[in-house]
Structures are given as structure tokens and as C-alpha cells.
Amino acid sequence: MSDGGQRRGARTDRPAGRRSVARLFAVQALYEIEFGGTNPEAVIADFRTNRQSEEIEGVQMREADADWFAEVVRGVARQQAEVDRVIKDAMPRVDALDRMEAILRYALRCAAYEIIARIDVPATTVIDEYLGIVRAFFGPREIKLANGVIDAVARKLRPGEFTA
């Protein structure tokens, strides 16, 4: 399993990369879609207009990669049934995805989408990126769960990227 790579605390002296910011914004946008009752295109337009960059916990974020952000939001929204199926296959309880906190659920969905659709991005990068997001919002229990689920999805869908 991935341990999340380098310590996230060591990165506070430099802004996050554009794709990292896009991933965080995608998780937030999908949360907004679910609870705000809006459609993906409206949320994408709002994020592009109003939230291209911002400061989070005292760290100035770089401008988000707008195309990456839009692809992840649209992809999760469009392929949610497939994404949920691969996540549920990696979880000990079938109903666990529906019962977890929304931010955690969307971090898992975004990670699974990237593993499914973006084979040009190494699975370990996807794991590390989304574990960083989970770490920003949750404690050890949720981090362990996310690590196990994302790792299992990656190993199942991209076995060639992992050594035996």
C-alpha cells in the first residue's frame, strides 16, 4: 500500500501544483453539486470564474489546472455508477460508500476516476494526491480507509504498475 509519499507538512513552504489544486477543487465541486443541487457545468463555470486560486490554511495555492478540474468533475459525474462499483468492490461493506462523509466519498470517487480514465498518470501519483486531500480533512481512521480503498482499486485496475 502507498503511505502517501512525502510528508505533506514539508510542502507548506511552496504552493501546491496546478493539478493538485484542481483535484482539491474537484472534490469540493462534487460536494457542492450533491448538496447544492446544481449541475456539473454550472459548478465548473463558477469555479473557473471565482475560485481559480485561493489561500487555504495560510498557503497560497497556485492557479488550478482548469482543464484537469473540469475533466475530473465531468468524468466523475458522467461515470459515477462505474466509479462507485469499483470503489464498492474494494470496500469491506457494500453500503460503506453511501454512509461515509461526502468529502471522503468524493475524494475516493475522484481517485477512482483518475485510475480508470487517466492511465497516463501513474497510479501511485493518484494515490498520493488524493491521500493528501483526505489528510487535510480527516484523521488516521479515514486516511487508512482511503489508502486501502484507493490502493486496492489501483492494484485491481492497473496491476502492471505494482511489483509482486
Query: What is d(CA 45, CA 114) in angstroms, rounded to the nearest whole number?
Result: 21
Selected residue with higher pLDDT from 37 and 107: 107
- What are the residue ranges spanned by the domains of the chain? 8-161
Q: Identify the sign of the CA torsion 88, 92, 94, 95.
A: negative
Model pLDDT for residues 83-133, shown as the tens digit of each residue? 999 999 999 787 788 889 999 999 999 999 999 999 999 999 999 999 999
Q: What CATH number has the domain spanning 8-161?
A: 1.10.940.10
Tell me the pLDDT of the chain averaged across its residues: 85
The pLDDT value recorded for residue 96 is 84
Mean pLDDT, residues 124-153 taken together: 96
